[in-house]
Structure 1
Amino acid sequence: MEIVRKPFPIPGTPDKDVCLVAIGDIHGRYDLLRKAIPCIRKSLPQDAKQVDLVLLGDILDRGDAAIEVIDYIREGIDDWNIIPILGNHEQLLLRVLNASDAAYRPTWRMWRGNGGLSTLENLQIEIPPIADISAASHKKALIQALRQERIDYIQNFYPFYRSGSILCVHAGVDPQKTLEENFSSDRLSQHPRHWAWIRDGFLDHDGPFPEGVFVVHGHTVIPGPKLEPHRIGLDTGACLHGVLSGAIFFNHEMTIFQVTSD
């Protein structure tokens, strides 16, 4: 099933002639992403000269087809600009791949226990138990299973994407800092107010955000897209509830769309 709501005005707009499409956390639901694409095509404004498709992070883990999602977006969709944002789940994987031998095992266990197991099963390549081989050998096997071209692609995911006054980010921003300060932090930091992890201080912030941006984010699952004065969250639990949500921004209007597994 697909639902496309009527456009309504918001206090923000992408760059002139740009249609910005943002999709919430996919979490390996390749089936829902494939259903969303024709829904988007039908809903694009005719006078848009450029389409920026922003994936709001957490593309990997939990679902059963994360690798298919990665390969699909790597290949490109129509003539759209594909802009994948780094989510905390991609960040957890990159921390594994960048870990020292001493830190590798606990970093691996953290990723694997937070949804990484689904991505590993999706690879259909059995990696030897970590207790049976060295950390260096285990990492080598993981890299071979993932393939270097996929790793390189994930390494280059964006921390954020901004078009006009629309700011797309995975979890949010710390409103007590400038945007430059927010995004100058280490990409792989797990600080609770990092842009890939923040909830407290962002979700309960009612005022405007730095530079007057309208923030489009995922990370925190909500029953349905809920518009706040200066932000909207689009993670509606693709894995938990079978609902993938997104929004189309053009001029000063936003159009919400959803696809479900029903």
Structure 2
Amino acid sequence: MFGWLKSSFEPSLPPGHRVYAVGDVHGRLDLFDRLIESIRQDNAARPAAEVTLILLGDLIDRGPDSSGVVDRARAGVPWARTIAIMGNHEAVMLDVLDGKGDLLRNWLGFGGKAALRSWGVAESVLEGGSQEDILDAARRAVPAAARAWLGRMRPNLRMGDYYFVHAGIRPGVPLDKQIDEDRLWIREDFLESKKKHGAMIVHGHSINTEVEERTNRIGLDTGAYASGRLTAIGLEGRERWFMATVD
């Protein structure tokens, strides 16, 4: 039983590299700041390396301070290069602001209102304004620099034997043939798959109370916006370790 959880595959990073990857922040700047400080201390206690900090998407929505999280992520850290992966929440927000499809109502319902509050859109507009009023206010409120940075988020990142992505990948499809729809949204087909994917997939998007370690994937979304638990993984060589905030 559960024999599929065991594996001889030991993914690794190239020598001299260290990676920290952070799960879905969803507007919890308080947790993000604390976790970044814990990562900084962890990194400082280890030998010198080329360090990469990867944010696995869904920085925004649901929690109280999407604007603060985006500003913090844009600023990066002096001790690592920072790479932000596009999440489905960022993708929907950008589509809304760009006028692609009739997505505003759906976005407001799954976290967009909290994001717009954090950028200063008035409650009276969010609760009583027409869709046109809300959209106009959103376009005025979200700074152009923040919007441009969100638009530059990457769909994925491959480093050594690890592949970092927001939601996951389509099993059976080569990693270089994956499509954004799956990278941003996939759940069951990916989560339930026991197939080898050609790399260890590190992802967020699907909430669990603890880190999910499987033979083919590592899930880091621990529901920070509601649980108060924001989780990160550290990787170096064949070593891996985890850090988390706890409210």
Residues 98/39 of structure 1: CA separation in 2 closer, same or farther (3 Å cut): same
Structure 2 counterpart of 1:80, one-letter code:
A
Select which of 199, 212, 230 maps to 2:187: 199
> Which ranges of structure 2 fall in alignment gaps of 5 or more residues?
1-7
Residues 219/133 of structure 1: CA separation in 2 closer, same or farther (3 Å cut): closer
Matched, 1:232 2:218: yes
**Higher relative contact order (Cα pairs below 8 Å, separated by 6+ residues):** 1
Pairwise CA distance, 1:165: 1.1
**2:121/2:138 contact within 8 Å kept:** no
Give 1:211-250 correspondences, 5 Å limit. Answer: 212-250=198-236
Aligned residue for 1:4? none
Matched, 1:66 2:69: no
Select which of 106, 115, 120 maps to 2:111: 115
Q: How many aligned positions are there?
A: 238
Matched, 1:171 2:159: no
Q: TM-score, normalised by structure 2?
A: 0.89
Residues 130/148 of structure 1: CA separation in 2 closer, same or farther (3 Å cut): farther
Aligned residue for 1:5? none
Residues 48/15 of structure 1: CA separation in 2 closer, same or farther (3 Å cut): farther
What's the RMSD between the two structures over aligned residues? Answer: 2.1
- Distance in 1, matches of 2:131 and 2:206, equals 36
**1:18/1:48 contact within 8 Å kept:** no
Higher normalized helix content (fraction of residues): 2
Pairwise CA distance, 1:120: 1.1
Structure 2 counterpart of 1:165, one-letter code:
D
- Distance in 1, matches of 2:63 and 2:135, equals 22
**1:11/1:230 contact within 8 Å kept:** no
Structure 1 counterpart of 2:39, one-letter code:
I
Aligned residue for 1:28? 27
Residues 145/229 of structure 1: CA separation in 2 closer, same or farther (3 Å cut): same
Aligned residue for 2:97? 97
For each residue in 1:52-77, what CA deviation from the matched residue of structure 2 results, as whole angstroms up to 9, or x when unmatched? 11111110000001100110111121
Pairwise CA distance, 1:133: 6.3
Q: Percent of pairs identical after alignment?
A: 30
**2:66/2:118 contact within 8 Å kept:** yes
For each residue in 1:67-123, what CA deviation from the matched residue of structure 2 results, as whole angstroms up to 9, or x when unmatched? 0011011112123111111111111101102225xx3xx311111111101111112
Q: What's the secondary structure of 1:240's corresponding residue?
A: helix
Q: TM-score, normalised by structure 1?
A: 0.84
Pairwise CA distance, 1:38: 2.1
Q: What's the secondary structure of 1:71's corresponding residue?
A: helix
Structure 2 counterpart of 1:254, one-letter code:
R
Q: What's the secondary structure of 2:38's corresponding residue?
A: helix
**1:19/1:48 contact within 8 Å kept:** no
Pairwise CA distance, 1:161: 1.1
Residues 37/129 of structure 1: CA separation in 2 closer, same or farther (3 Å cut): closer
Matched, 1:80 2:80: yes
Q: What's the secondary structure of 1:39's corresponding residue?
A: helix
- Distance in 2, matches of 1:221 and 1:165, equals 24
